[in-house]
């Protein structure tokens, strides 16, 4: 890791064997490891790490402090918000009806299909070798277990696993499974002590519920 694009703590560090398009935008403090490829018009936020052999497609957007681990394939038009973790060999698809050729047998070009993407909200994590079938959204601070195949949206703070992935429980910001609280529909993070409340099919932080219930003015 010898190549840097700027001096000081904000240097962008790109391994000599990485392939980063001149049209890509890398934020301060980014690190791109060996054999990774970052395509044209990709936007990589401050402090992101892109692992060995990872692929970031054209126009993919990544927020601050994301990690894309070795050999993950993040195809356009994926959007990663802040603090997203993409494990080794994860695949984000972008073609809902994949074919190499048209019905007439002609090799398909970009104009012959419409790319669809995976959106990862703040803090979402995707375990190693998982496949996310676009289009879908991974909710805030959710956790996709290793080896899962995700075919539908994942709620905030949900723990999902399997083929196809199904919700097994809830996790907090630390990624640790939540335990039941004192009241029905409440959950507690054993790592941080934070409380959560079920809201329909999802989960919200209790602090947000209290904030919303406070009188205005």
Q: What is the pLDDT of residue 110?
A: 85
Q: What is the pLDDT of residue 10?
A: 80
Contact 142, 157 (CB under 8 A): yes
pLDDT grade for 7, boundaries at 50, 70 and 90: very low
Burial class of residue 85 in the structure, from the number of CB atoms within 10 Å of its CB (0-12 exposed, 13-18 middle, 19+ buried): buried
Query: What tens digit of pLDDT does each residue of 119-165 get?
Result: 999 999 999 999 999 999 999 999 999 999 999 999 999 999 999 99
pLDDT grade for 73, boundaries at 50, 70 and 90: very high
pLDDT of residue 4 exceeding 70, the answer is no
Distances (CA, A) of 146 to 81, 91, 102, 114, 133: 20, 12, 34, 28, 15
End-to-end Cα separation, the chain, in angstroms: 54
The tokens for 183 are 């009241």
Query: What tens digit of pLDDT does each residue of 11-33 get?
Result: 999 999 999 999 999 999 999 99
Across 85-95, average pLDDT: 98
3-state DSSP call for residue 67?
strand
Q: What is the pLDDT of residue 60?
A: 98
DSSP-assigned beta bridge partners for residue 137: 119
Across 88-105, average pLDDT: 95
**Residue of 99, 75, 71, 101 lying closest to 87 (CA atoms):** 71
3-state DSSP call for residue 213?
helix
CA distance 91 to 181: 35
Domains of the chain: 3-177 (2.160.10.10)
The tokens for 54 are 């990872």
Sign of CA dihedral 6, 7, 12, 17: positive
Mean pLDDT across the chain, nearest whole number? 92
Across 73-91, average pLDDT: 98
pTM (whole model) above 0.85: yes
Q: What is the pLDDT of residue 72?
A: 98
3-state DSSP call for residue 196?
strand
Query: What tens digit of pLDDT does each residue of 57-69 get?
Result: 999 999 999 999 9
The full DSSP string for 34-51 is TT-EE-TT-EE-TT-EE-
Q: What is the pLDDT of residue 201?
A: 85
């Amino acid at each position: 890791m010898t190549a840097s694009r700027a001096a000081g703590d904000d240097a962008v560090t790109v391994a000599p064997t990485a392939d980063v398009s001149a049209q890509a935008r890398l934020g301060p403090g980014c690190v791109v490891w060996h054999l990774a490829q970052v395509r044209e018009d990709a936007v990589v936020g401050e402090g992101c790490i892109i692992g060995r052999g990872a692929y970031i497609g054209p126009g993919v957007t990544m927020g601050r402090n994301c990690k894309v681990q070795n050999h993950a394939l993040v195809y356009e038009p994926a959007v990663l918000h802040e603090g997203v973790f993409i494990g080794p060999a994860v695949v984000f698809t972008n073609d809902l009806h994949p074919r190499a050729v048209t019905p007439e047998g002609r090799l398909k070009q970009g104009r012959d299909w419409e790319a669809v993407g995976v959106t990862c909200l703040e803090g979402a994590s995707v375990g190693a070798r998982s496949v996310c079938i676009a289009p879908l959204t991974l909710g805030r601070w959710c956790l996709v277990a290793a080896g899962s195949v995700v075919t539908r949206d994942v709620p905030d703070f949900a723990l999902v696993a399997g083929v196809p992935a199904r919700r097994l429980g809830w996790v907090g910001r630390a990624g640790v499974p939540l335990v039941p609280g004192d009241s029905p529909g409440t959950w507690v993070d054993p790592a941080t002590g934070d409380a959560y409340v079920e809201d329909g099919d999802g989960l919200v932080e209790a602090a947000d519920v209290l904030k919303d219930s406070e009188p205005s003015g």
